[in-house]
Amino acid sequence: MAEGGPEKALCLSSYQTSGGVKKGRMLSGHLKGIRMRILSGRFDELYQQLKQLESTETKKYSEYRGNYRHIEQDLILNWSVKVRNLLSNACGKDSEHYISFGLAEEPQSYEDNVDRLNRMKAVFLAAQEDFNGGYFNSVRNLIQAELADDELDQASVLFEAGYIAAAAVVAGVVLETTLRTLSIRRGIPIGSIDKMNAELAKAGQYNTLVQKRVTALAAVRNSAAHGKSQEYSAEDVAAFIAEIERFVGDQLS
């Protein structure tokens, strides 16, 4: 590779060898899958806890309120705190689900705590349905990141088989696809890698250091796509794949 070019911004790390790159990606994808299963399982657990909570409902009477339904407030609080934490992890504190759940927790005049629980239940069930349907941004990000991992695994297989240029081209597709995804979310017109990179940095998606890294990655991708094998080495492509893996993880996780 030519001395002094932007490609020198690539960072050769412990993942420089193809084996290290592949193992790192496999671990990353495995952890994403585990996180999805944990969140899904937690929704199921809290649904079962909700059913148990509802089964404790009793009828009570007071001179002030007359007949009313009752569930111990401490039990409701215990469940609602755990749901709020789950929604924070699954969809974020700025999501409609998290905000709506907080509003549902607020006591209203002339209601019993079963009414309040039913409001929280409605939000919880909507969140569970949307999570299982993949409608949360965090879920979409994880799915897209896993798809990128699959493509990078293909690049790793090509690399190990000695098809260095093909490995770089496939990994370059992942880079471009990720930039397209980020641009669509930001309302940025789809264009060249350089154009999208500049616009994403301007929009605050990432800082100028990351922008320079993407510029360096694009240079390797372009050299490989145009058959300029003299401009890069096998070690450069190994680092290239690792850098793209980190970029996808940072932006889509």
**Which CA distances in Å does 79 have to 6, 119, 121, 131?**
53, 13, 10, 19
Q: Which residue has the higher pLDDT, 249 or 14?
A: 249
pLDDT at 17 over 50: no
Q: Which residue has the higher pLDDT, 39 or 153?
A: 39
Q: What is the pTM of this model?
A: 0.47
Percent of all residues in the chain with a pLDDT value above 70, rounded to a whole number: 77
pLDDT for the residue 104: 93
Q: Which residue has the higher pLDDT, 220 or 24?
A: 220
pLDDT at 161 over 90: no
* Spatial contact of 85 and 95, defined as CB atoms under 8 Å apart: no
pLDDT for the residue 10: 40
> pLDDT tens for residues 193-232?
899 999 999 999 999 999 998 898 888 888 887 888 888 8
Q: Give the model's confidence band at 238: pLDDT under 50 very low, under 70 low, under 90 confident, else very high.
A: confident
pLDDT at 190 over 70: yes
